[in-house]
Structure 1
């Protein structure tokens, strides 16, 4: 399970580099931070249950943040 967090770190690093190349500074900074956290979690050797709880916590925070941003910051189309 720890290896999966390293894979997540790799893919978020790729997204961060592509957004950095596209001059999207805020997005690249967000994904660089996520990459660092995922790589750190990948080498901490927690139990599998702990990794599952951390992943679900990450998903809840990410979806709440995405929903907040898309509704309140971007505005509704009507």
Structure 2
């Protein structure tokens, strides 16, 4: 399971590099932070249960933040 977090780190790094090349600096920095988070978690040797709980917590925070941003920061079209 720890390898999966390293794979997630690889893909977030690729997305961050593409965002940086596309001049989307804020998005690139966000994905670089996620890359560091995933790579560090990938080398911590937790149990499979902890990795699953961490992934669910990450998904909860991500979807909550995305929903908040799209509803309150972007505004609803009227």
TM-score by length of 2: 0.99
Where does residue 6 of structure 1 map in the other structure? 6
Aligned residue number for residue 64 of structure 2: 64
- Which 5+ residue runs of structure 2 have no aligned equivalent? none
Considering only aligned residues, what root-mean-square deviation do their CA atoms show, in Å?
Answer: 0.4
1:65 and 1:19 map into 2 onto residues whose CA distance is 19
Secondary structure of 1:45's aligned partner: coil
TM, length-normalised to structure 1: 0.99
Report the Cα offset of residue 49 of structure 1.
0.3
CA positional deviation for 1:44: 0.4
Q: Which whole-Å deviations, capped at 9, do the CAs of 1:16-55 have from their partners, x for residues lacking one?
A: 0000001111000000000001000000000000000000
Structure 1: runs of 5 or more not aligned: none
- Tell me the matched-pair count: 78
Q: Could you tell me how far apart the structure 2 residues matched to 1:73 and 1:28 are?
A: 19
